[in-house]
């Protein structure tokens, strides 16, 4: 878990590779509403967020049995979809009250039946580093994301973490851990994670 651009996918892939976990990634590439969302947020926010919500619900239902056999690592937990990304759109007025209530109703109807993570790894990353990483990954539709939006996501992430009482959370500051390019950073990161997830 972390604000967009914090390195969630890179970290999840590394954990899956090193600890031989089953990897569950966010299907952002299949979300046809996402490029439209970044052009007209108030038009496509509900569609885009609902797509991600339903994809995540389907993924969690599919892995409910696999959790009994394998360690599972997921790059973005459903809690972040609901209480950070979607909540941000309601806060900004891109999802109106009726859309937000419907979104919450969908989530609430499935939530009791979904497996909960044993541990959430929170990638704590400064906005400067997030901005730089978003620019470096070169997704065209992300080029004009305002800093204010990133700050809002970061604030909502931290608010949920403070309110969370049911899931163990481990925070890792990634400003100096360049796990995309540095072998030492990868080793340092995995040392932290291994100490957390293994007895």
Q: Convert the pLDDT of each residue in 99-120 to its tens digit.
A: 999 999 999 999 998 888 888 8
pLDDT, tens only, 170-198:
888 888 887 877 889 889 989 988 887 76
89 or 144, which is more confident?
89
198 burial type by CB count under 10 A (0-12 exposed, 13-18 middle, 19+ buried): exposed
What is the pTM assigned to this prediction?
Answer: 0.81
CATH number of 8-197: 3.40.50.300
Domain edges within the chain: 8-197
CA 50 – CA 170 distance, rounded (Å): 28
Other CB atoms within 10 A of residue 106 CB: 15
CB-based contacts of 91, cutoff 8 Å, min separation 6: 152, 156
Rounded distance, CA 136 to CA 130, Å?
10
């Amino acid at each position: 878990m972390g604000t967009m651009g914090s390195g969630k996918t890179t970290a999840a892939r590394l954990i899956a590779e090193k600890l031989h976990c089953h990897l569950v990634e966010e299907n952002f590439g299949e979300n046809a509403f996402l490029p439209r969302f970044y052009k007209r947020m108030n038009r496509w926010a509900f569609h885009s967020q609902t797509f991600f919500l339903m994809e995540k619900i389907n993924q969690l239902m599919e892995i409910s049995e696999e959790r009994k056999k394998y360690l599972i690592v997921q790059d973005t937990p459903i809690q972040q979809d609901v209480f950070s990304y979607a909540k941000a759109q309601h806060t900004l007025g891109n999802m109106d009250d009726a859309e937000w209530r419907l979104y919450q109703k969908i989530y609430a109807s499935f939530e009791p039946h979904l497996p909960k993570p044993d541990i959430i790894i929170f990638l704590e990353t400064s906005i400067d580093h997030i901005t730089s990483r978003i620019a470096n990954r070169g997704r065209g539709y992300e080029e004009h994301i305002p800093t204010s939006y990133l700050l809002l996501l970061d604030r909502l992430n931290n608010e949920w973490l403070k309110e969370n009482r049911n899931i163990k959370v481990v925070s890792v500051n990634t400003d100096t851990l360049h796990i995309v390019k540095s072998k030492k950073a990868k080793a340092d990161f995995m040392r932290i994670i291994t100490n957390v997830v293994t007895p």
